[in-house]
Amino acid sequence: MQIISTVADMQALAHELRSQDLITGLVPTMGALHEGHLALVRLAAERADKVIVSIFVNPTQFAPNEDFTKYPRELEADVAKCEAAGADYVFAPPPDEIYPKGYSTYLTEERIAKPLEGVSRPTHFRGVTTVVAKLFNICRPDLAVFGQKDAQQVAVIQKMVTDLNFPVDVVVAPTLREPDGLAMSSRNRYLTNTQRTEALALSQALFKARDMVAAGERRSDRLIAEATHILSQHRRVRVIYVALVDRHTMEPMREVEPGRSLIAIAAWVDEVRLIDNIVL
């Protein structure tokens, strides 16, 4: 396992892998790796000859009032996990490698990034697309693996790849859940035991919607009302949105179209902001 920390070294390695005709897979992460991330690494290892995991807590996707400084950083443990999961390289640059002094170029996707997360986090996806485009240019992967847990991020990145002709295959891995249903997330570690129990409301609301659809319900208003009702029964949970949208465009849908619709939830559990979704 090799750890690379400069852009120049990573670009040289990417060039070397290309010249050997090796298929390269990239798993972009912000570290604090959990089983959900490691499933992405394993999937990349199945599909690619060489796997790069990037570990970079990207400052541009956090608003000033968000958890950038408190976001967990544990490189040594992360590297060991990457190695065990089958990664070949960890690219872990310091912030000024990615954003040197005077940096001033940003990339925005202007449609899919606007609703849902974009309403309460208006600069978030600009940071994500900027850093992912940079990682694609630096690591030059043939494929990149992202988790369905961040459904809007997946849709935005797929659009960026199409619109800007990045020669990268975007692979989407299913959300991994704890046995009780909680979607795995680096932010779950912020939760106290009581908050964690309350956080189960998100997956419970989504599973209820899924069960209603299995029983024949198609109307989004009814599904949203039921999911919102479940969330409202939890004292510490404050809903940011519950929406039924097209999984590719994030536009609202009146009726479920199986395989195309997604029900997405964002909610505060006290001061911890969580998101989750399920494809219906």
Footprint of ligand PAF (CB under 6 A):
28-30, 58, 61, 128, 131-132, 150, 153
Cβ pair 265, 227 in contact under 8 A: yes
Coil, strand, or helix at residue 48?
A: coil
Closer CB to ligand PAF, 44 or 131, in the complex: 131
Closer CB to ligand PAF, 128 or 250, in the complex: 128
Q: How far is the CB of 126 from ligand PAF (least distance, A)?
A: 12
Q: How far apart, in whole angstroms, are the C-alpha atoms of residue 220 and residue 224?
A: 6
Q: How far is the CB of 88 from ligand PAF (least distance, A)?
A: 18
Please count the other Cβ atoms lying within 10 Å of the Cβ belonging to residue 96.
9
Residues paired with 278 in a beta bridge: 263
Closer CB to ligand PAF, 130 or 204, in the complex: 130
Name the E strands within the chain.
Answer: 2-4, 24-29, 50-55, 89-91, 143-147, 169-173, 237-246, 261-269, 272-279
Where does 114-240 have alpha helices with state H? 117-120, 124-139, 151-163, 193-214, 220-232
Cβ pair 66, 30 in contact under 8 A: no
Closer CB to ligand PAF, 253 or 266, in the complex: 266
Cα-based distances in Å from 194 to 55, 95, 238: 30, 35, 15
Q: How far is the CB of 91 from ligand PAF (least distance, A)?
A: 11
Is 124 in the active site? no
Find the angle CA(68)-CA(76)-CA(180) to the nearest 5 degrees: 70
Query: Residue 171: what residue type?
Result: V
Catalytic residue among 37, 229, 234, 248: 37
In this structure, the dihedral spanned by the alpha carbons of residues 225, 229, 231 and 236, taken in order and rounded to 10 degrees, is: 140
Q: How far is the CB of 185 from ligand PAF (least distance, A)?
A: 10
Q: How far is the CB of 61 from ligand PAF (least distance, A)?
A: 6
Residues assigned a catalytic role: 37
